[in-house]
Structure 1
């Protein structure tokens, strides 16, 4: 399987993961054969990309730290909590805590699994899926810090509610592409204050969790908001969530730009480490992220093209790859592919990650489809 922008879908492609509506209903089931009608409909529904089963990577699986059921249920619950908070100025803390407890349990259960899940959320679900991912990513940092379960649950609650103040901000302003005016940016900044005020008024929410909403846009050099705090004046929970928030924002499709790959986002985050975000916490965070997600295509120093089939925690930047081409111009038969562990090939390095719109994957798919036809004829 691999992630593909909607604009690159072709008739006959097979959907690899089911797509869900905002209310959790199945829009399209995994295994559905896609055509131009489906592509147009999905684009209209705000899906920037989907997971497909392509002929050359149909056996590649996407590991996920939490189950599909928990992920979908989580998005539904976060949406419900946010919508009720907007109407009634009150948080359904039981619902949030039940969700966080489930996330903590699954993250602990899958503590050795790397985060590499390629997202296929719709634009309408972005905020809720973002909060869920930030919670999962933050919990992994908390685990690396040897937090106990009580601490993890408080961190998780703050993380999943970190953007709740956004419900009081005009959505058109939040989704506005390009730069904001000083007045508009000032309005955006209010979401941290409004979120904190809402959360601290809930009697059964830890004040540290509420401070995550207040401080997750603070930066250790004092350039953040709303109070321009520095270094450890920012609570540790908020410094954790700031990193998770940044990574998920970078690796998510937005209306004004495509998602960055894991490797691109990691480079950007490393630049910020020690300047804007906590360096020690960033290092702990990056130990949990696969540089190249399964399904990615990499050009190697040999000129060969490798398909990422799996990752190992001890070799974050050296995945197991399947050699699918001698070069971008010279494909090889699927019968002759081989898998290699880059960690065991010291003379072989990664030159670049191929983009899904560079035309190479079309060539690769065509040769596999031709071979399939020959076998079946």
Structure 2
């Protein structure tokens, strides 16, 4: 399959990747043949890109850390958590813990998979997919950095709930309540949770140089879990910014932006580990190489995010197309010149 801009999707093409609703149920299943009405509905729901099942790239799938079952469970749990708080009720720490256990099992099982945030977002499910992605990336980062299982679970819960203070409290002008304070207040009163979980919500917008919120603390004053979640949160926000904020970045552009924040906004050590496990050019994305050949990324090398495997289609005539793959880790004089999708 390959990634296609929603504006370029045509009726009759086959959806390559399932799209979930805000409560974790399936909105559109992979394998469905798209109609004009479906495409129009996806646009109305705020979908910008989707995966298309292309016969020439049918064997290519984005590497998944989480199973569809786990994704449904996480999105549904976040929906239930937000609904409980919106209704003035408490949320279930036990249910959150069980969902995190399921997510951690997937991360442990797929620890060699590189980070590719490929799930399709709608306006309704965006905040839940964001929470899921930040949690997944933070958990993978914590594992990469050698955290033990107890530490990893605290980090994962904190990452999943890092924006819980945003509920019913949108960002307001400086000097009034910041959502980090509200998130801290909500979580520090959960007796089942370590106080460190609350500090993830409290500190994930702090900056290494003291320019962050809400307290302007610096360096070692920021807890390591919050530093990890800050990287995961910033990366996902760069890929999928809130409506009206700024344009979304492609993964390689987002990584360049993260590196520009190293040591000032974000922790350098955490970023070093992140760059080892992120896929800068995800499977399914179309690229133009420096030799002017156009192809689709089909494989990755852990630790070499900028040197993926690219499948080229050489058209000999109208009826004969030859596919060949070029491994950029082996062909060091060729590089990716542009991303086309």
Instruction: Give the TM-score category using the shorter length.
Output: over 0.9
Q: Is structure 2 residue 301 aligned with structure 1 residue 315?
A: no
Q: Is structure 2 residue 282 aligned with structure 1 residue 296?
A: no
Deviation at 1:258, TM superposition (A): 5.1
The answer for the alignment partner of 2:92 in structure 1 is 92
Distance in 1 separating the partners of 2:173 and 2:317 = 51
Contact 2:276 2:304 in 1 (8 A): no
Distance in 2 separating the partners of 1:346 and 1:60 = 23
The answer for the alignment partner of 1:373 in structure 2 is none
After TM superposition, the score normalised by the length of structure 2 is 0.94
Aligned ranges 1:124-139 → 2 under 5 Å? 124-139=124-139
1:141 to 1:20, Cα distance in 2 relative to 1, 3 A? closer
1:227 to 1:308, Cα distance in 2 relative to 1, 3 A? same
Contact 1:157 1:209 in 2 (8 A): yes
1:203 to 1:297, Cα distance in 2 relative to 1, 3 A? same
The answer for the alignment partner of 1:284 in structure 2 is 273
Deviation at 1:8, TM superposition (A): 2.3
Contact 1:114 1:290 in 2 (8 A): yes
The answer for the alignment partner of 1:344 in structure 2 is 330
Contact 2:300 2:307 in 1 (8 A): yes
Equivalent in 213, 227, 237 of residue 249 of structure 1: 237
Contact 2:23 2:125 in 1 (8 A): no
Distance in 2 separating the partners of 1:89 and 1:218 = 29
Deviation at 1:145, TM superposition (A): 1.8
Deviation at 1:143, TM superposition (A): 0.9
After TM superposition, the score normalised by the length of structure 1 is 0.85
1:89 to 1:237, Cα distance in 2 relative to 1, 3 A? farther
The answer for the alignment partner of 2:54 in structure 1 is 54
Q: Is structure 2 residue 194 aligned with structure 1 residue 198?
A: no
Deviation at 1:87, TM superposition (A): 2.1
The answer for the alignment partner of 1:82 in structure 2 is 82
1:154 to 1:35, Cα distance in 2 relative to 1, 3 A? same
Distance in 1 separating the partners of 2:267 and 2:146 = 17
For residues 23-77 of structure 1, what are the alpha-carbon distances to aligned partners after superposition, in whole Å with 9 as ceiling and x for unaligned? 3332222111112211112222333332211244232111111101101211110
Equivalent in 191, 196, 202 of residue 208 of structure 1: 196
2:311 is paired with a residue whose SS is strand
For residues 223-273 of structure 1, what are the alpha-carbon distances to aligned partners after superposition, in whole Å with 9 as ceiling and x for unaligned? 101100100101111111000000011112643355321111100000001
Distance in 2 separating the partners of 1:333 and 1:249 = 44
1:105 is paired with a residue whose SS is helix
Give aligned pairs, total. Answer: 340
Alpha-carbon RMSD: 2.0
Larger mean CA deviation between 267-276 and 306-315 belongs to 306-315
Deviation at 1:350, TM superposition (A): 1.8
2:3 is paired with a residue whose SS is strand
Aligned ranges 1:1-377 → 2 under 5 Å? 1-88=1-88, 90-170=90-170, 184-187=173-176, 190-252=178-240, 254-256=242-244, 259-324=248-313, 335-354=321-340, 356=341
1:144 to 1:25, Cα distance in 2 relative to 1, 3 A? closer
Contact 1:306 1:325 in 2 (8 A): no
1:101 is paired with a residue whose SS is helix
Deviation at 1:106, TM superposition (A): 1.1
The runs of 5 or more residues in structure 1 that have no matched partner are 175-182, 357-377
The answer for the alignment partner of 1:371 in structure 2 is none
Distance in 1 separating the partners of 2:305 and 2:28 = 33
1:80 to 1:186, Cα distance in 2 relative to 1, 3 A? farther
1:50 is paired with a residue whose SS is strand
Distance in 1 separating the partners of 2:92 and 2:320 = 53
Decide which structure has greater helix share: 1
For residues 268-291 of structure 1, what are the alpha-carbon distances to aligned partners after superposition, in whole Å with 9 as ceiling and x for unaligned? 000001111000111111111011
Contact 1:89 1:198 in 2 (8 A): no
Deviation at 1:78, TM superposition (A): 0.9
